[in-house]
Structure 1
Amino acid sequence: MHKEAALFEDDEWHGMLDHHPTRIDSKEERALVRRLDKRLLLFAMFGNLVKMLDNANLGSAFISGMEEELGIAGVQYNWMGVYFMLGYLFMQVPSNLLLARLRPSIYLPSLEMFWCFLTLAMATVQSVRGVFVIRVLLGLAEAGFYPGERQLAMRRLEVEGRESKRPTTRNLMACIRSLLTNRYLIPFIIGWAAVHVSLGATTVLGIVARKLGYDAVTANLITTPDMLITMVATLCNGFISDKYRTRLWCIVFPAVLGLLGCSMLSTFVQPFGLLYVGFLLTNIGLKSTTSVIMTWASEIISQNIEVRALAIGVMNTAACLTWTWTPLVLWPVTDAPYYHTGFRASVFSILIFIISMGVIGYRHSLDQPIPSSATMPMMQINTMTEEDDDDMNAAAKLLQARANAAQRTRR
C-alpha cells in the first residue's frame, strides 16, 4: 500500500505535465542524466555569468567616471538602458525568421562575435549619442540567442527522427486560442511583470553608494557580496523546491523577504549598514524566485509544447516591456540616492506579485484530484482483504490442528 500511495503522489506531481514521464530506474540512465546535468549546467552558468557581467558593465562604468567624461545629464543614463531593450524587443521576431533560413551554427556565433565587437567598441565611444547607437545594436545582437536555442533543439529532433511540429497558421491560431482560455496565463503575466518591476530596486545599489559619497572602487565592490549571496540563495531555493516538490512556498517566502527589504529601502533606513541589509534582502528574495516561477509556469501551462512555449514567450515579452519605461519613470538617476518613487513602487509590485502567485496556487489546488476520494476506498478494500486473509489462515490452521488431534485419538 505504501508503494501504491507513493506512486499516486508521484502521478499527482507529474499530472501537471501533459504526459507522464518515464521513470528513470537504471543506474546507467541516472549516470547519463547526472553527466548531462553537470556539463550543460556548467556551460549555462558560465554563459549566464557573462550575461550578468554585460548587464552590469554600464552601471559600473557610470559610477567609475563615464558620467563626467561624456557629460551625461538628466536621464540620459536611463535612456541607454531603454535603447538596449528596444533593440532587444525589435529583433526577437526577425531573428526567428532568419533562423529558419540560415544555418544556426553560423548565424548564432556571428551574432556573438558582433556582440563582442560592440562591447569592445563601448570603451572607445566619445559621446552620449555614440553610446545610444551601440546600445541599440547590442540589443539587436543579443536578442537572437535566446530564441535560437529552441530552434536548434527542433532541428536536432528532426535529425534524430522525432517529429518536430513546425508552426503553421492553423497550429498557431489553435495555440493562441488554447492560451487565451488558460486560467493561469493572466496571473502569470501579471506576476512575472510585477516581479520585474520590483527587480529594478536591485540595480541601483552602486549608484546609491556613489551618490552617498563612496569612491568609485568602493561603490563597485559593495555590489559584489550581494550577488554572491543571491547566487547561493537561488541554488538553495531551487534545490528545496525540487526536493520537497513545492513551488508556491518557494516563491512566496522569498518574496516576503524581498518585500521586507524594499520596505526598508523605501524609508531609506540609516546607517548605510541597515540600508545594505535592505538591498541584500531585496536581491535574495526577488532573484531567487525567478527560476522557480518559470519552472512552475512550464509545469502548469502544459497543454502541449507549442502552448507552453508561447506562454513563456508572452511572459518574457511582458517582462521586457517593463524595462522600456521603468528606468525613466521609477529609476531616473536624478532621483538618486533616495529613489523614493521606485522603492515604493517596488513594494506595491511585490504585493501584486504575491497575490498573483496565491491566485495561481489556489486555482491549481482546485484542479488537483482529491487523494482521499480516489485512494481511500482502495486502501480500505486492501486492508479488509488482508484482515480476511489472516482470519482465513488462522481458521485453516485451527481446523488442521483439530484434524491432527482427532487422528492421534483414533490411534
Structure 2
Amino acid sequence: MSFLRKMMGGSQQSQSPEQSEPAATTGATAEEVFIAPKANDNFYFWTRPGTSTEERKLVQKLDLAILTFCCLTFFTKDLDRNNINNAFVSGMKEDLGLYGNELNWMTTWFQIGYIVGQIPSQILLTKISPRWYLPAAEFLWAFFVLFLYKCENAQQIYALRFCVGFIEAASWPGLHFMGTPQIGTWYRNHEINKRAGIFTASGIAATMFSGYIQAGIYTTIDGHLGLRGWRWLFIIDFLITCPMVVIGLIIIPNPLYEKGTWWMTERERQMCIKRLETDHRQPLGRFDRSLFKRVLGRWHFWILCTWFSLMYFVYQAPTTSTMALWLKAEKYSVPDVNNLPTVYSAISIVFMIVSGAYNDWRGSQVESVILICMTQIISESMLVAWNLGKPAHFFAFYIAGTIQSLFPIIVSWTHRVCSSDAEERAIVIGALNSIGLAQGTWWNQVFVPTVEAPRFYRGYRAGLAASLALSAWLPVAMWFTRRQERKEKAEAIHGEVVENSGHDTEDGKASIEKRGAAANLTEQDKANEVGIVM
C-alpha cells in the first residue's frame, strides 16, 4: 500500500507559489490551500488558467484514480453490450436458428433487467460501502456474462441478459451520483464536460474493440476447443472483467463527505470539499418526503428527461448494430462486418473529447448540441432516401456517431443546473438514464425490428422526426436555464440565499464579488477555519 500511496502522491503536500503566509492551523490543513478564480479567457484543454500547482496535482490524482476506474469499468460494460450484436452477425444467428426478432429481445431483456435493478441497487449503495459493493457487482456481472457462451437457445440468452442488466444497474448510477467515485461529486463545473466525455468515450471505445476482438477471434481461434468464435467472445469478456474487481477494491474512494481514503490526505479531502463549495455544490443529505415536491415541482426533471428521451429515440438507428446488419445483407465478410462499424465509434470518441474540452472552455454546450442535431438530421434524411449508393450509406452511418456525444452533454448540463440540491441532482440524473432507456426500449421494438433490416423503413423515418424534435427542444432547455441564471444573479446581487439549483457562471461570480466588504470578510473567516484561501 505504501508503494501505491507514493505513486498516487498521497505523501506529498505541495504548496502553491501564490501562497503568501501559512495559516495558523494544525493537522491536515496546516498549510493554506489556494483555489484560484478564473485568470483569463484563453483556450485551455485540461487545466483552467489560474489553477494553483497544489490544486492541479490534486486533480491529477483524482484523474488517476477516479477517472481511470470509471473508464475501465464502463469499457467492460459496453464491451458486453456490443458483443451480443457482434456475436449475432458472426455465427450466433445461424448456429441457434435466430431468424426472427430475437436480437431485439436480447436487447430488451437486458434493458428490463437494467431498469428493474436500479432502485434495489440504489438502496444497497446506501447500506453497503461502495468500495465493497461495486467490486462485488463487477464479479457477479462477469459470472453471468461468462455463461452466455454455454447458451443453446434464445430463451437461455434472454434469462442471462436479464441478469446481466440487473447487476449492471449498479454501475452507471454508482459511478455517477451515489457517493462513489463519480464525476459529478469530485469535479468542478468547468472540469465536468471533458471528463464526462472521456468517461462515455471509454464505453464507445469498447464498441470498437468489440468489433476488432470478434474479427480477430473469427480469423484465429474460431473452432478452437470445439467452440465457435462468437462463444469465445463472452469468455474473453469474463477474463477482461476479472481484474476490475481487484482494481476496484484498491482505488474506489470512500464517500467524500463521510470518510477519508488511503490514497488521499485529509488536507486534500478538505480541499475537494472547498472546491465543490466554490461551485455551490451540496453533498447528499437525507431523502425525505420533501424531495418529491422539489423534484417534480421544478423544471429540471421534466425538461431534461424529455430531452434525454428524445436523444434515445434518435440513438436507436442508425447505430453500429444497424450498420452491421446492412453490411451483412450486402454480403461483406465477417471481419468487415465487425470492423467497418468501428469508424462510427471512432468519430463518436473524437467528437466527444473535442466537444468536451471546447464546452469546458466556453462554459456552454449550445454550439456542440446544434452541430450534433445538424449531423443527425442529415444522416437520417440520407437513410430515409436510401437509394443513394454505398458511399452515401457509409457517410450517413458514420456521421450519425455524433449523437453519442449528447449523453455526457446532457448529464453535465444536469450537474450544473441542479448543483445546489444534491438529492434532486441524484434523482434527476438517475431518472435520465432510467426513463430514457425505457423509452428507447419500446422505440427499438416498434421502429427498429430486426426483421426489417437492413433498410428499417419505419425506423429511419421515425429517427428523422425525432432528430427534428431534438433540435426544437434545445431552445426550450436554453430558455429555462437562462431564466434560472437571471434569477440567481438577481438573488446574488441582493445578497439573498439561492434555494434553487445553482448554475455556475462567470457573470454570477462577478455579481457575488460585488457584495459588501463585510460579506467578503465573513466568507474569508469561514475559509480560514479549514485553512483554505478563497
Q: Which TM class, normalised by the smaller chain length?
A: 0.7 to 0.9
Q: Using a 3 Å threshold, how does the CA distance of structure 1 residues 268 and 98 change in structure 2: closer, same or farther? A: same
1:56 match: 82
Instruction: Check conservation: 1:191, 1:352, Cα contact below 8 A.
Output: no
- The structural deviation recorded for 1:37 is 2.6
2:310 match: 194
| Separation in 2, partners of 1:329, 1:132 | 19
Equivalent residue for 1:327, pick from 444, 447, 467: 444
1:320-351 alpha-carbon deviations (Å, 9 max, x no partner): 10232122111111000001111111111111
SS of the residue corresponding to residue 152 of structure 2 reads coil
Q: Using a 3 Å threshold, how does the CA distance of structure 1 residues 109 and 92 change in structure 2: closer, same or farther? A: same
- The structural deviation recorded for 1:81 is 0.6
| Separation in 2, partners of 1:100, 1:279 | 42
SS of the residue corresponding to residue 167 of structure 1 reads coil
| Separation in 2, partners of 1:258, 1:164 | 37
- The structural deviation recorded for 1:70 is 0.7
Instruction: Check conservation: 2:173, 2:430, Cα contact below 8 A.
Output: no
Equivalent residue for 2:396, pick from 278, 290, 297: 278
Q: What TM-score, normalized by structure 2, do the two folds share?
A: 0.61
Q: Using a 3 Å threshold, how does the CA distance of structure 1 residues 55 and 258 change in structure 2: closer, same or farther? A: same
Instruction: Check conservation: 2:304, 2:432, Cα contact below 8 A.
Output: yes
Equivalent residue for 1:268, pick from 374, 386, 397: 386
| Separation in 2, partners of 1:346, 1:28 | 48
- The structural deviation recorded for 1:247 is 1.4
Instruction: Check conservation: 2:311, 2:406, Cα contact below 8 A.
Output: no
Q: Using a 3 Å threshold, how does the CA distance of structure 1 residues 180 and 101 change in structure 2: closer, same or farther? A: closer
- The structural deviation recorded for 1:125 is 0.9
Partner AA of 1:343 in structure 2? Y
2:94 match: 68
1:388 match: none
Equivalent residue for 2:329, pick from 211, 215, 225: 211
Instruction: Check conservation: 2:344, 2:400, Cα contact below 8 A.
Output: no
Residue 159 of structure 1 pairs with residue 159 of structure 2? no
Deviates more, 1:43-52 or 1:145-154: 145-154
| Separation in 2, partners of 1:99, 1:41 | 20
Partner AA of 2:286 in structure 1? P
1:398 match: none
Q: Using a 3 Å threshold, how does the CA distance of structure 1 residues 350 and 118 change in structure 2: closer, same or farther? A: same
- The structural deviation recorded for 1:41 is 2.7
2:57 match: 31
1:311 match: 428
Equivalent residue for 2:356, pick from 231, 238, 256: 238
Equivalent residue for 2:170, pick from 121, 136, 144: 144
| Separation in 2, partners of 1:102, 1:186 | 31
Partner AA of 1:223 in structure 2? P
Partner AA of 2:76 in structure 1? V
Q: Using a 3 Å threshold, how does the CA distance of structure 1 residues 335 and 101 change in structure 2: closer, same or farther? A: same
1:229-269 alpha-carbon deviations (Å, 9 max, x no partner): 21011100111111112212221222211211111112224
**How high is the sequence identity, in percent, across the aligned residues?**
24
| Separation in 2, partners of 1:289, 1:95 | 26
**Structure 1: segments with no counterpart, 5+ residues:** 1-8, 14-22, 379-411
Deviating 4+ runs (over 4 angstroms): 160-166
Q: Using a 3 Å threshold, how does the CA distance of structure 1 residues 345 and 132 change in structure 2: closer, same or farther? A: same
1:274-320 alpha-carbon deviations (Å, 9 max, x no partner): 10100111112x11222111111221233411111111112111111
Equivalent residue for 2:149, pick from 116, 123, 141: 123
Deviates more, 1:265-274 or 1:119-128: 265-274
Structure with higher Rg: it is 1
Q: Using a 3 Å threshold, how does the CA distance of structure 1 residues 48 and 148 change in structure 2: closer, same or farther? A: closer
Partner AA of 2:396 in structure 1? G
Partner AA of 2:438 in structure 1? L
Instruction: Check conservation: 1:190, 1:353, Cα contact below 8 A.
Output: no
SS of the residue corresponding to residue 126 of structure 1 reads coil
Instruction: Check conservation: 1:251, 1:293, Cα contact below 8 A.
Output: no
1:47-98 alpha-carbon deviations (Å, 9 max, x no partner): 3322221111011011111111111132122111100111111111112223
Partner AA of 1:311 in structure 2? V
- The structural deviation recorded for 1:151 is 3.7
Partner AA of 1:92 in structure 2? Q
1:178 match: 294
| Separation in 2, partners of 1:151, 1:308 | 10
Partner AA of 1:189 in structure 2? C
1:223 match: 341
Higher helix share: 1
Map of 1:370-389 to 2, 5 A cutoff?
none
Instruction: Check conservation: 2:382, 2:393, Cα contact below 8 A.
Output: yes
Instruction: Check conservation: 1:82, 1:323, Cα contact below 8 A.
Output: no
| Separation in 2, partners of 1:265, 1:55 | 24
Q: What TM-score, normalized by structure 1, do the two folds share?
A: 0.79
Residue 361 of structure 1 pairs with residue 466 of structure 2? no
Residue 293 of structure 1 pairs with residue 293 of structure 2? no
| Separation in 1, partners of 2:96, 2:418 | 47
1:47 match: 73
2:237 match: none
| Separation in 2, partners of 1:343, 1:46 | 33
SS of the residue corresponding to residue 210 of structure 1 reads helix
| Separation in 2, partners of 1:340, 1:178 | 42
| Separation in 2, partners of 1:362, 1:164 | 27
- The structural deviation recorded for 1:45 is 2.6
Instruction: Check conservation: 1:255, 1:289, Cα contact below 8 A.
Output: no
2:267 match: none
